[in-house]
Amino acid sequence: MRTKKGIVSSNKQEKTIVVTVHSYKNHPKYKKRYRISKKFHVHNPEGKKFEIGDEVLISETRPISKLKRWLVSERLKTADAKEIQIDEPTELTKKTDVAETETAEPTETTNKQ
């Protein structure tokens, strides 16, 4: 039974996820390695929640539908959720505000008559 390791790229269907698997090949003439990516439609029988970016292990199985020939074996890593909170101005914006007030000089207009 073949197994592959890939990253979840779509989870919009109920019992199917799309997994992208990257592999490397050598060019026959130039001998340079290049990366190939292929998408597999994978059966998710229990309807487990997989997030985009999760690393999963898939295994080959009997044909389930026209496109599905793979089954989710296990989740290897979860996707990193990055939370960005902007509550206070950063140091960079504070310095630029101070720099603008220091360089701004009042212009004096004198009328000579």
Domain boundaries, the chain: 3-77
**pLDDT over threshold 60, residue 82:** no
The number of angstroms, rounded, from the C-alpha of 58 to the middle of its chain's C-alpha atoms is 19
Phi, psi of 101 (to 5 degrees): -75, -30
Question: Kind and range of the H or E element at 90?
Answer: none
Question: Do β-strands 33-43 and 70-77 pair in parallel, antiparallel, or remain unpaired?
Answer: parallel
Report the distance separating Cα 65 and Cα 47, nearest Å.
16
Question: Which tens digit of pLDDT belongs to each residue from 24-74?
Answer: 999 999 999 999 999 999 999 988 899 999 999 999 999 999 999 999 999
Look up the pTM and report it.
Answer: 0.67
CATH 2.40.50.140 fits 3-77, yes or no: yes
State the DSSP string of 5-52. Answer: EEEEEE--SSSEEEEEEEEEEE-TTT--EEEEEEEEEEE-TT-----T
How much is the pLDDT for 1? 87
**pLDDT over threshold 50, residue 85:** no
